[in-house]
Amino acid sequence: MISLLNRAFFVWSLMMLAESIHGVLRSILLVPMIGDLPARQIGVAIGSLIIVAIAFMFSNWLKVRSTKGQIRVGFFWVAMTLLFEVLLGRLVLGLSWNRITEDYDLSRGGFMIFGLLLMALSPTIGEKLHLLID
């Protein structure tokens, strides 16, 4: 039987795959039209919808019914995402710390803090959406 941690990691991996594809498409299609920062800001909204959709699609498979458990999974996803963002940004893309932290700094136009908050809540949102639909 697959443990909750393994299921949560699998779903998070799908989220990062979807977000990586989303990021590439954003860079190719949106950045040339409106610029980098506005494209990243819009990307947070679109990415948040992607995250909630994936959380919704996999909420029954995750089998986390308690709000406390859902919040734990959400914060696990946030921690893994921050680690992923730093490793990808620093080691793969060669971004500076200043550029990485810009995405999380409201005073510099970064909206990622909102995306991470929604990610933390997405297991609960996904479960609640299932309760409304089912």
Q: Is the pLDDT of residue 134 over 80?
A: no
User: Is the separation of the CB atoms in 66 and 108 below 8 Å?
Assistant: no
pLDDT at 79: 98
* Number of domains observed in the structure of the chain: 1
Q: What value does the mean pLDDT of the chain take?
A: 94
The pLDDT tens digits for 69-127 are 999 999 999 999 999 999 999 999 899 999 899 999 999 999 999 999 999 999 999 99
Owning domain of residue 84: 4-133
Report the amino acid identity of residue 52: V
The pTM for the full model equals 0.92
The pLDDT tens digits for 31-70 are 999 999 999 999 999 999 999 999 999 999 999 989 999 9
pLDDT at 130: 86
Radius of gyration of the chain (CA): 15
Q: Is the pLDDT of residue 1 over 80?
A: no
